[in-house]
Amino acid sequence: MNPDLIRDALRTIRYPGFSRDIVSFGLVKDIQIDGENLRVRLEIQTRDAEIPQQIFKNCHEVLAQVPGISRVVVDIDIKDPSTQTPGAQAGASSIPGVKKIIAVASGKGGVGKSTVASNLAIALAATGASVGLCDCDLYGPSIAMMFGCDEKPLANEKDEIIPLEAHGVKIMSMGLLLEDSSPVIVRGPLATRYTQQFLRQVAWGELDYLVLDLPPGTGDIQLTIVQTVALHGVVIVTTPQEVALIDARKAVSMFAKVNVPVLGLIENMSWFDCEHGQRYYLFGENGGLREAERLRVPLIAQIPIQVPICQGGDRGQPVALLPPQSNPASAAFHQAAAMILAKQA
């Protein structure tokens, strides 16, 4: 008997109402083995008393089938989401009218962070929530193209920028203010000022969620954001290969140090299904899953490599607009939105 064997057994237990298991959901916080005695500690954020009861029952049923165990203790730490203090960063404050702010970040570029942020915003809006999306990547803004927006935003009587709206999402991006070929050439302090203006001087109105598409890395803009606005959580985007996972760990570590909860990992470019039915793991298999377990955070979704994702982003029609039942990538983004809503409920 060893922790890996126990973890494999726990992977057969689904979180009530979801297709994902409690291990990838990040609920398993500790496994202790003493001879034939086993103690498992789980942590659940919910107001629904039936959820921990069902998981408690399922854990005992599954672990009772593991050879070599004579005694099982399942401890469940139940936390009320309303009593948590996400975004309690020193000096940070909320944005008027915005209920919750969620950042989408990555340790390195090229992992599809903006694609994830765009589709996640659309999936959240599909639930009936009012959603805004702010492109905080000043040097490589891409949200405007992904939403098919080429208009210049106007200002209101308060000299606030009025965000554009597309696919039911309010958006703001440096890409809306520039010509297609114009680069942003600014030093750190000015980039910090632009970022603060995007967050504070945009007329977002009443929003349930404001999604922030952060630039890659752990630099000035990221630190400015966590010091300026109270984030309710961050989603880390990675690809399965180790070179991306190394930087994802750095991003998780940075947000932990500034007291921003990590809602989970999204593994992008997980696999490619060819037309003959063969599945290819181009960047390695389940790297994001192993890393999520290592960091003890949920794996929110695994996004396959698909032509419609690329085409949708180029045409201003993100893949999450497709019916989830008709496209696996769209289904994964909508499942990710559902998991985030469940953690924030």
Amino acid at 20: R
Expressed as residue numbers, the domain containing 191 is: 98-344
State which of 49, 83, 117 marks the end of a domain. 83
Angle, CA 11 vertex, CA 77 and CA 324 arms, to 5°: 100
Kindly state whether residues 69 and 105 are assigned to the same domain. Answer: no
Chain mean position to CA 259: 16
Task: Give the DSSP letter of residue 28.
Answer: E
Query: Looking at the 3D structure of the chain, how many domains does it have?
Result: 2
In a domain, 7, yes or no: yes
In a domain, 92, yes or no: no
CATH number at residue 180: 3.40.50.300
- What is the rounded distance in angstroms from the CA atom of residue 52 to the CA atom of residue 123? 27
CATH number at residue 56: 3.30.300.130
Query: What rounded mean pLDDT belongs to the chain?
Result: 87
pLDDT at 183 over 80: no
3-state SS class at 144: helix
% pLDDT > 70, the chain? 91
Kindly state whether residues 165 and 190 are assigned to the same domain. Answer: yes
Kindly state whether residues 10 and 123 are assigned to the same domain. Answer: no
In a domain, 203, yes or no: yes
For residue 26, name the pLDDT band (cuts at 50, 70, 90): confident
In a domain, 93, yes or no: no
Element (H, E) at 103: strand 98-105
Kindly state whether residues 57 and 109 are assigned to the same domain. Answer: no
Kindly state whether residues 237 and 200 are assigned to the same domain. Answer: yes
Kindly state whether residues 18 and 115 are assigned to the same domain. Answer: no
What's residue 182's pLDDT? 60
What's residue 185's pLDDT? 62
pTM of the model: 0.76
Tokens of 226: 């966590």
Kindly state whether residues 68 and 173 are assigned to the same domain. Answer: no
Radius of gyration of the chain (CA): 21
Ramachandran angles phi, psi of 258, nearest 5°: -105, 15
Sign of the C-alpha dihedral computed for residues 197, 161, 114 and 295 taken in this order: positive
- What is the rounded distance in angstroms from the CA atom of residue 77 to the CA atom of residue 74? 10
Kindly state whether residues 52 and 27 are assigned to the same domain. Answer: yes
In a domain, 162, yes or no: yes
Which position has the higher pLDDT, 212 or 19? Answer: 212
Kindly state whether residues 50 and 108 are assigned to the same domain. Answer: no
Q: What torsion do the CA atoms of 261, 263, 268, 271 make, to the nearest 10 degrees?
A: 130
Q: Is 10 left (phi over 0), alpha (psi -120 to 50) or beta?
A: alpha
Kindly state whether residues 231 and 317 are assigned to the same domain. Answer: yes
In a domain, 91, yes or no: no
Pairing verdict, β 272-273 and 279-280: antiparallel
In a domain, 107, yes or no: yes
In a domain, 46, yes or no: yes
Tokens of 283: 């960047």
